[in-house]
Amino acid sequence: MRVTTRTFPDPRGLCPVPVTEYTLQNDHGVSVSCIDYGAIITDVRMPDREGNIESIVLRFPDLTGYIAHGSLYLGAIVGRTAGRIDRASFELNGAMYDLPKNDGENSLHGNGEFSTALWEAEVFDRADPNVCEHRQHVSVTFFRTSPAGANGFPGEVHAEVTYVLNNNSQFEITYRATTTEDTLFDPTNHTYFNLSGNQKADILSQTLIADVDRFVELRDDLIPTGNILPVDGTAFDFRLGEPFSQGRTSEHPQNIMVGHGYDHPFLFREDGNHSLRMSDRVSGRVLTLSTDAPAFVMYTCNTPDGSVELADGPLVPFAGAALEAQGWPDAIHLSGAPSPVLRAGETFHRKTVWSFDLV
């Protein structure tokens, strides 16, 4: 196992300092690359059943795409809070806080603070032959201090995100944060997956299994209505495994509203396994996502027009699926939602694991 580094291409000189890409590689053909701009995951590569090692995420070839199309949040860490906040404002401890409006009248993904920041990085390269194989791993940790008042949020937040790849082909994302004042904190990673390899096909025939029996109804501006709906008898039911195409053909008004697909929060059962499984029968690739987050948001690239060029082809409908493990979007305004408040003196901790396999 090893970590390699290089200066990430920035052909237009858009960043004032060089951006570094870190590639974590294991001994089984799995690698994950990430950069200190936005803590963005720029590539994930794994073999198919024939041994062909290809990319399984949507990606740009250089920094130009990530900066010019930052609203896609491709591979980025988003925060301080993931998702939308209604009317870009919230009340906390009797005080009102106003946030920038970057999605109509609402705030989305912390106004891009984390996804466009330059993070400090520290590499841990461990390949000790005296350590059992299942404990061998390599990692990189990104650090950021978000000043009090950044994008309207209270409290100075000290955040870190650690990416770990081990020799069992498991990739862990661990978040930790503290704050000087009570604030909102609920980050996620916004990687888009496509298991076909180098974007050879869309994801419509790829399959998702998710042990989730409820999803969140959305308004037409994608803010939760407060209604929690059962998946039974709808295109939101993935409990037995269904192709992503069922969202495109569905007549459910929620699928139609977001462009004949998905842009919805799915709620894990408290007594469930908090995991989902995406697979592609053609390549044989399988991605299992496990998390201690209470929900995941699934976005399936429903309406792009093909004008954005990625490293492996144009961004077209159903080019990939973002599977964002997080809290409930707009939880600060939703009765019954897990609290998104990080209290002064407490430490935020969350972990999500991507496991790569073949069938």
Catalytic residues: 190, 324
Please name the amino acid found at residue 206: Q
Residue pair 49/284 in contact by the 8 Å Cβ criterion: yes
CB atoms closer than 10 angstroms to residue 296: 24
Residue 107, Cα to own-chain centre: how many angstroms? 18
Question: Does an H or E element contain 295, and which?
Answer: strand 295-299
Please name the amino acid found at residue 65: G
Cis amide prior to 126 (ω within 30 degrees): no
Residue pair 182/344 in contact by the 8 Å Cβ criterion: yes
Contacts of 290 (CB under 8 A, 6+ apart): 273, 274, 275, 352, 353, 355
By CB atoms closer than 10 A (0-12, 13-18, 19+), residue 231 is: middle
How far CA 20 is from CA of 1, 4, 44, 173, 346, in Å, comes to 19, 10, 16, 19, 32
Tokens of 237: 């039911």
Please name the amino acid found at residue 320: G
User: Can you give the C-alpha Rg of the chain in angstroms?
Assistant: 19
CA distance 213 to 290: 17
Tokens of 171: 């990739």
CB atoms closer than 10 angstroms to residue 170: 19
